[in-house]
Amino acid sequence: MPEVPELNLVGLTLQKHFKGQRVESIEILWKKRVKASQEEFDAKIPGGKLQSVTRNGKELHLQFDNGNVLGIHMMLTGRMHLLPTDEEIKYPIFRLIFENEAGIAVADGMGQAKPILNPEIPDVPDIMSEEFSLDYLKGILAKRSKKIKELILDQKVMRGIGNAYADEILWHSKISPFSDANAIPAGKVKDLFESIKSVTKEATDGLEKLKLNDKVFEMENYDHRFIHNSSKKYAPDGYEILKGKVGTSKTYYTDNQVLYDIINRK
């Protein structure tokens, strides 16, 4: 699943290819999860010149000079393909073609990825926004006893963290993913907040340094991940990487991440 660092890089790559290009056409190929009709997309997107590509939560937003926005949510198994391509694209969701006859196609075998016409911006803060502050995080954790990994994955609480980077963030802050959110002491909440910001930025920078070019569309698990990486047995600090589950999520962690719980509050 593409998460914030990958989406950041995909956004930059889309800008490199298509900024300043006008849209020739958009074709919705899988309509079951798409709220707007083909006719509504046709009325808003073609003819628009791409000004920028931004990210909000787990969505990419293609901003056009006519004031319209095309949102793209890749969901769990969505893949983006750069067009034209000789590759056979299975399970296509939609196709976007620019005036230079190049474009993108989004596909998803589960049929969940989707285009969004002029997406609404939720009140819940994105993790890299100014609205996502230490005070906000403290307030959220103080009210909830659920496991910390489940909480930071909850897009109704904070937007942008996915399963892989939740593990990276919790390892970086040395907090066990099995900790009760409201048992984590104030000093460690500050560590968690700083890790959310720094891990996300450093992972984005790490991906950029790999100079993936158009391979970024493949969304593979590259070696910039220290913990949530099935090819690694040990963390950089030498501790063995363990595997478990928090809720329904596969979880990677180490023994030196401290467990905070309500019964044995530390």
pLDDT in tens, 122-151: 999 999 999 999 999 999 999 998 999 999
pLDDT at 219: 57
pLDDT of residue 207: 80
> From CA 123, how far away is CA 229, in angstroms rounded?
32
pLDDT of residue 222: 60
pLDDT, residue 1, reads 64
Quick check: 216 and 13 in contact, CB under 8 A?
yes
What is the rounded distance in angstroms from the CA atom of residue 218 to the CA atom of residue 147? 32
The answer to whether the predicted template modeling score (pTM) of the entire model surpasses 0.85 is yes
Closest CA relative to residue 74, chosen from 100, 93, 96: 93
How far is 81 from 106, CA to CA, in rounded Å?
A: 6
All residue ranges of the chain with pLDDT < 50 are 266
Strand partners, 98: 23
Going by their DSSP bridges, the two strands 59-64 and 242-246 should be labelled as unpaired
Per-state percent for the chain, helix, strand, coil, to nearest 5: 30, 25, 45
The three-point CA angle 103-105-106 to 5° equals: 145
Element holding 108 (H helix, E strand): none
Q: How far apart are CA 201 and CA 15, in angstroms?
A: 19
What is the per-residue pLDDT across 235-245, written as a single tens digit (0 to 9) for each?
A: 999 999 999 99
pLDDT in the model for residue 224? 75
Q: Domains (ranges, CATH) in the chain?
A: 4-117 (3.20.190.10), 134-253 (1.10.8.50)
Q: What is the end-to-end Cα distance of the chain in Å, rounded?
A: 35
